[in-house]
Amino acid sequence: MKQPIRSLIGRLPPLGFLFWGALILPLVVAASFSAILYNRSAADIELEAERTAAIAREHALRIFDAQQDAMAAIDLRLGGMSWDEIRRSDSIREFLAGLMQSSPRMAAILLIDPGGRIAVSSNLSGNSPSLTMKEDYAQALRAHARLYLGPALQDKTEAGIGFAAGRGPGAANGAIIIPTKARYFEDFWSTLAGVSTLMISIIRDDGVILARLSNVGERATTISEDSLFFELSRTQSAGLYRTRSSADGGDRLYAFAKLGSFPAYVRVSVDRDAAFAPWRAQTLALVAIAAGASLALATLVNMAQARETRLFAEIERRRRAETSLIARDEHVAALHKAESRLLLSGQRFRVAISAMAGIVYDWRISTGAIYRSDGLLKLLGCSVEEAGTSIAWWLARMHPDDRPRFELQRAKLGDGAIEEQAEEYRLRHRDGSWIHVWDRGSLIRDHQGKPVRVIGSAIDITERKNAEERQQILINELNHRVKNTLTTVQSITAQTARNVEDPVDMARRLQERFLALSKAHDQLIRTNWESVDLNELLENELTPYMEADSKITCAGPPAKLNAATAVAAALVLHELATNSGKYGAFSIDSGRLDVHWSIDAGDPPRARLTWREHGVPAAATPGKPGFGTRLIQRGLLGVGGGSTALEFLEGGVVCVLEMPLFAQPSDPPEIDPAAWNQRRSRRFDC
């Protein structure tokens, strides 16, 4: 087989080039795809690590901020009291129990006297403490007036209650400790990680590991000061680095982020070997397909070369006997037989080409004719016959913005200025849509070095381009929503401070309003920030006011609010419920509340909700409305045409809310009012 190949390559150099092109081109294409997939996988791994670190950072900040707020509230409550009064006070224990109910993630609340002993605990009865603080722990607390993150605590009532957050001077020269439940971070991180390649931990700025989710059996409790983590964290608040794990020696990628002003970091690590497993499988598949295609193409070309050699030999033999009629007849028969074999060889070659993914094309530079494989029907919905052999048909379907760049590269190939091209451009499908195409072609020269043809392939990369666009849209949307949330918090804080003089009352009001905002955000997070169920939003705000004989009646069809409307509606409903508890239907035994809503299937669809109180002796219009009233009246303005109508009538407040909907369900069943009256004593975590 080698001798015919060498002789034919010597006679016809273009066929020799075709042989080597058929052998190498599929492997080159496979290697290019593998490199693209590797770069994309590496970028996805880094993005996933940074995204997970950012989410874990925000989650931890919320917890530490809540603990810090709780400590500030305790400081205000203990102002002016002696430690004997604190130990004897049942109201202090009730106050601590109330704080525990507002945030179930807390394992306990401990009040530490100046001697380092526990004076009051939310988890202990009586005045006798279950443990005495170690002196070094007590000294650390007294040295940190804001917040100190300490190691895990142990007591007689609950073992392994998790690491503690505490603060020093301020609580009657003692200290406050609020441990976090041991499994709280791990459970949240398990749902966040989702795969075994992620490891998440919280690290104090001195290297002490406070909490960790690990699937590699790591047992270290501290990080060495000469580690790369310490080197980077001294100069930057967030970043990425790659190193070998001290636990299993694996190649891991680390992403870390500082927890705001708190002396700790969140760190996420990814097992790169495991993360790149899908890429390795894809690469093996590509190599197998390319090797098969190379072998098939090379075999077909070799067969064509061998048959051509035999044909030339037969022609030479027959030519010597052309003076004889018999020789001429045999010569003609041999030619017909050779033509049939060549036709069969060409058919086999086309079958091999059609088996490849995408389109294979062959452009003859001298004539301008172009051959395209049958894959054109899948790519553009057009047959090869309809497309013809002219490049003009291809250019006519190309996006006008991409055409000049493509024609420039084609001209360079035709002149021999470049040896290959790799371009991305858009083509119009038969159904009118635009598809993205990745086109790679290689130049072939004759034995004199003159450009004669371009062989290449074009594949559909629309799905990848759409995925990249969706990713960018999600990033932009996240930035936009974070800015909106910060603006809302800033406005609530400024308006509350403007209308409240008592710091304790201000802290309580801010906590209630931020809790309503947080619950709305939790509902949005569970639906990928798309919509919130109106019935669930009402349940969050009204459950604290439900009793054995409920004063509340709610009814209406299922309704989904969009993200902007849900946040605004949560604040408005919270203010209505709070005012009703102070002055309205929830403040007296005879008071009742009816909440009904209906759906207006307009464009866009809207929900019309009526809040109507009954049994209130009088509802006087306030002379100077406060921030809560202004929030009710204006909270829905600017969210897609939403509005509020508030009236103070004899019998109670009547408020009508107009809210844009996210989607309108088909054939919605009515909410059973009795179902609301059966819901009792539900607690919701922010």
Give SS3 for 144: coil
Q: Where are the domains of the chain?
A: 79-179, 184-275, 357-460, 466-677
Q: How confident is the model at residue 684 (pLDDT cuts 50, 70, 90)?
A: very low
The mean pLDDT value for 424-429 works out to: 90
Task: Give per-residue pLDDT as tens, 653-673.
Answer: 999 999 888 754 444 444 455
CA-closest candidate to residue 40, choices 282, 215, 254, 329: 282
Q: How confident is the model at residue 594 (pLDDT cuts 50, 70, 90)?
A: very high
Task: Give per-residue pLDDT as tens, 571-580.
Answer: 888 888 888 8
Which of 147-151, 190-194, 504-508 has the largest mean confidence?
Answer: 504-508
Has domain 184-275 been given CATH number 3.30.450.20?
yes
Q: Are 75 and 170 in contact (CB under 8 A)?
A: yes
351 CA to centre of own chain? 43
Tell me whether strands 420-428 and 198-204 are parallel, antiparallel or unpaired.
unpaired
45 vs 614: CA distance, rounded Å: 58
Has domain 466-677 been given CATH number 3.30.1380.20?
no
273 vs 37: CA distance, rounded Å: 15
pLDDT for the residue numbered 664: 44
* pLDDT at residue 11 tops 80: no
Residue with tokens 């709070």: 578
pLDDT for the residue numbered 677: 46
Has domain 357-460 been given CATH number 1.10.472.10?
no
Q: Are 534 and 502 in contact (CB under 8 A)?
A: no
446 vs 434: CA distance, rounded Å: 37
Q: How far is CA 101 from CA 88, 98, 108, 656, in A?
A: 22, 5, 11, 32
The mean pLDDT value for 126-132 works out to: 42
Which contacts qualify for 182-189: CB closer than 8 Å, 24 or more apart?
Answer: 182/107, 182/152, 184/63, 184/105, 185/60, 185/211, 185/213, 186/211, 186/212, 186/213, 188/59, 189/56, 189/213
DSSP 217-250: -----B--TTSHHHHHHTT-SEEEEEEE-TTT--
79-179 and 466-677: same fold? no
447 vs 9: CA distance, rounded Å: 10
Q: What is the DSSP letter of 545?
A: G
Which of 293-297, 365-369, 596-600 has the largest mean confidence?
Answer: 596-600
pTM over 0.75? The answer is no
CATH topology of domain 79-179: Beta-Lactamase (3.30.450)
* pLDDT at residue 598 tops 90: yes
- Structure-token pair, residue 325: 């009629």
Task: Give per-residue pLDDT as tens, 201-227.
Answer: 888 888 888 777 776 556 667 887 778
* pLDDT at residue 558 tops 80: yes
Q: How confident is the model at residue 192 (pLDDT cuts 50, 70, 90)?
A: confident
